[in-house]
Structure 1
């Protein structure tokens, strides 16, 4: 594979090479070296690569090369992705790479009325990037022709499985032409993804860069044991006071409420400029917040995991996990926001006693221990309120019971259900 030392060696056309040069890419990444020749040769592929490894261009370049120029009405390539943010981002990337071609590229997603999207589809389209829900909806309304589709890409397949898209994906696969090239990309290769790939890929070539779910190499990780939410807030304020070092920070929380609380605190303390994005925020305000963050107008962006995937921002100095994610693969995605495109970055995680259970699982997944640091002496450690202490004790009981179903905890008479 070492033959592919530059983009010229893939035999891409001049239009694509010029766009690649404009974007400042000189050396293909590992996933690009391995995937591009296979896709160009017409093979089916399972690409296992995390965000930040250049995987989007790894499938976009060969797809653009195969579609070449505008023709007909209906799309000839469809890329399915789990969230609006990701469809928009893939479309932006595709438009940049296709800028010297006449290809018509468009994202479609839910959350807004379909009228404008339908009007654009009627003008003709070559490459469609869609969420499964909106794709299905427009197909059922006879607004989307699938007859010409020659290439299907599933991006972030693991995430689509976790968001319950399996039934919709099966329906979509049924309405696509039988003769087509299928490409599947995923950060992890769980049993569910394997099962899906067996359903629709024929003799795929599996391409894997870095072992599954490894943390990005350039990211320095730190773990702090923090007793409660109030102390987390004190610690956050302490970190953000260092404006020079913490100049572009993404903060992740587990819930929308937590995201809003963290945002309000940062705003009140004047530690911003800051914005918050989660699924309750309108599509436009989410896009604007991400763009402002990209352009450096925002110092801090607070987000939940739903909106975390597919935000591509270079030069994020720090990722702060205010809460430990309960879905352990999300840790890899969160910290992959920093250390992108060969930049250095740091990921700092705050964990209460109840969250250490998830840390253990994350360490197993990334096959490394996250170094534990002591809380700085200047951070005021607050007393844990009774309700919070009780909730944590319940949580720990539930964790022990999950590991050992015969465990009878201090709260075993209460049927408290915790989210998995």
Structure 2
């Protein structure tokens, strides 16, 4: 165990950490803080919930030291608005005993007020990729004094297609600066990104890629269909003492809306919904209400899966199995944070067994399976839902074996053969017309075409 005093942080940051109740540093903090404080380029790879944000914020604040000048000296780039809010809040907590100025900026709100706050003087900016470029291009904010640049949740930014914006940012900030990249995984895209702006970085890797936090208990339930998933979810949530703070992850906005409507019986004031179609203020308010403990249940798509730090989440429920397998680790990492314990429960249908197997290989462990409680009503799977699952299973088998045709292919081929056979039957023709033949039904009828009328004349 290493204390923050041993990492040679100055007294104002030690006091701020004491106020937050942090006594010992985490492994990523122990290795990253000295390296960043000394001015080296750093790539930090660590599993979610291990204190990556404080690992770079603390040494950056100490390097900036005090308020100076007008233009920003540090930019922290994160993928989502929720992360801007969270990192800004953590900067505020750690810089409370200093005069350093900081500003969080993101889309969905007016540019003018954000630009004015920056132009009035700021030392550190926390931003999404698009918003910083908009302010630079349209509001003429200055980025020529940047000394430190951080890309946080870099793997998520690559998944969201921000490579182009990040490269543009790199073109407008000074070349000579300290560069930091933090990520939960080091995919080929993240590695390529690091080559674009880092020379001879130190790579700090705390745990193997895609390793779940050990303090999270993982289980799964085999469930036949969507409606039975809803019934199981309702059954689990009856235990309000155990399930006192829950995030429910779903794949689609449509499913999120359906689950939210079903859970209204727990009270509208006790549940919130977050997905990309929700307004900016709605998303941020829902996040803050859940973080502050004002609500018990949060239903969300994977917009909430990365980097969000919320203490004392008792359970993460994967209503759907994620198709991006790294997201499973990110989802369940919302619980069991900062050495606390938590539980992650996953529901899966027969069409999701394939993805469960892939996830188990990715995390190098088996997820224990539980039997459905007897109290849970198991409904009959509707025809259309079963057909959809069968098609998905066929697609999975074809992905593993390109020569596999599948039941639906065979059925389609059989129908095509019947149609082709019918189309080859000879037609009965009884008379000729200008284009070939006329049918018996039309034989003897007067021609209505212009060509026919012309001949009669």
Matches of 2:266 and 2:82 in 1, distance apart? 29
The structural deviation recorded for 1:408 is: 0.9
CA offsets per residue over residues 265-307 of structure 1, 9 Å max, x none?
0113659711111111112221221222122221111110023
1:336 pairs with one of 310, 323, 333: 333
Structure 1 runs of 4+ aligned residues shifted over 6 Å read none
* 1:2-401 equivalent positions in 2, closer than 5 A: 5-268=2-265, 270=267, 273-401=270-398
Gaps of 5+ in 1: 415-420
How many residue pairs end up in the alignment? 411
Larger Rg: 2
CA offsets per residue over residues 304-351 of structure 1, 9 Å max, x none?
002332322111111100011111111111100110111111000000
Match of 2:408 in 1: 411
Matches of 1:286 and 1:308 in 2, distance apart? 14
Matches of 1:308 and 1:251 in 2, distance apart? 10
CA offsets per residue over residues 223-273 of structure 1, 9 Å max, x none?
111010010001001101111111111100001111111111011365971
Match of 2:422 in 1: none
Matches of 2:97 and 2:113 in 1, distance apart? 25
CA offsets per residue over residues 44-77 of structure 1, 9 Å max, x none?
1110012210010000001001111111111101
CA offsets per residue over residues 134-157 of structure 1, 9 Å max, x none?
011111124321111010100000
Gaps of 5+ in 2: 413-457
User: Is this contact kept in 2: 1:293–1:301, CA < 8 A?
Assistant: yes
Matches of 2:141 and 2:266 in 1, distance apart? 49
User: Is this contact kept in 2: 1:52–1:341, CA < 8 A?
Assistant: yes
Instruction: Please give the TM-score of this superposition, normalised by the length of structure 2.
Output: 0.88
Could you tell which deviates more after superposition, 356-365 or 263-272? 263-272
Matches of 1:39 and 1:28 in 2, distance apart? 15
Change (3 A) 1:129 1:33: same
User: Is this contact kept in 2: 1:240–1:271, CA < 8 A?
Assistant: no
User: Is this contact kept in 1: 2:100–2:123, CA < 8 A?
Assistant: yes
Match of 2:452 in 1: none
Query: Residue 411 of structure 1 aligns to a residue in which SS?
Result: helix
User: Is this contact kept in 2: 1:47–1:186, CA < 8 A?
Assistant: yes
User: Is this contact kept in 2: 1:290–1:311, CA < 8 A?
Assistant: no
Matches of 1:210 and 1:310 in 2, distance apart? 16
